[in-house]
Amino acid sequence: MTTDLRTTLDACLAASVAAPDPVPGVVATVTDRAGVIYEGAAGVRRLGEPTPMSADAILALFSCTKAITGTAVLQLVDQGVLDLDAPAADYLPEIGDLQVLDGIADDGSLKLRPPKRAITTRMLLLHTAGFGYDFFNATCRRLTSEFGYPSHRTGTRQSLKLPLLFDPGTDWEYGLSIDWAGLVAEAIRGKRLDAILSEHVFAPLGMTNTGFALSEAQQSRRAAMHAVDKTGALVPVPFEPPANPEVLMGGGGLFGTAGDYARFLRMWLNDGMGDHGRVLKPETVATASRNGLDGISVKPLPAINPALTYAVEFWPDIPKSWALTFLLNEADLPTGRPAGSLAWAGLANLYYWIDRKTGIAGFWGAQRFPFRHPTAIAGFEAFETAFYRQISAAR
Give how far Cα 100 sits from Cα of 54, 136, 173, Å: 46, 18, 14
Nearest to 263 by CA among 34, 98, 24, 103: 34
In degrees, rounded to 5, the angle at the alpha carbon of residue 322 between the alpha carbons of residues 13 and 154 is 75
Positive or negative torsion for Cα 337, 342, 347, 351:
negative
b (16+ CB within 10 A) / e for 43-72: bbbbbeeeeebbeebbbbbbbbbbbbbbbb
| Annotated active-site residue in 16, 63, 177, 341 | 63
b (16+ CB within 10 A) / e for 315-351: beeeebbbbbbbbbbeeebebbbeebbbbbbbbbbbb
Q: What is the DSSP letter of 357?
A: T
- Verify whether residue 66 is a known catalytic residue: yes
Torsion angle defined by CA atoms of residues 25, 211, 128 and 347, in that order, rounded to the nearest 10 degrees: -20
Per the CB < 8 A criterion, the answer to whether 286 and 270 are in contact is: no
Distance CA 352, CA 364 (A): 6
Distance CA 64, CA 45 (A): 19
| Annotated active-site residue in 16, 66, 91, 159 | 66
Bridging pattern class, strands 110-113 and 100-104: antiparallel
- Verify whether residue 63 is a known catalytic residue: yes
| Annotated active-site residue in 38, 91, 149, 174 | 174
Q: What is the DSSP letter of 369?
A: S
Nearest to 70 by CA among 240, 241, 233, 289: 289
Distance CA 140, CA 132 (A): 6
Catalytic positions are 63, 66, 174
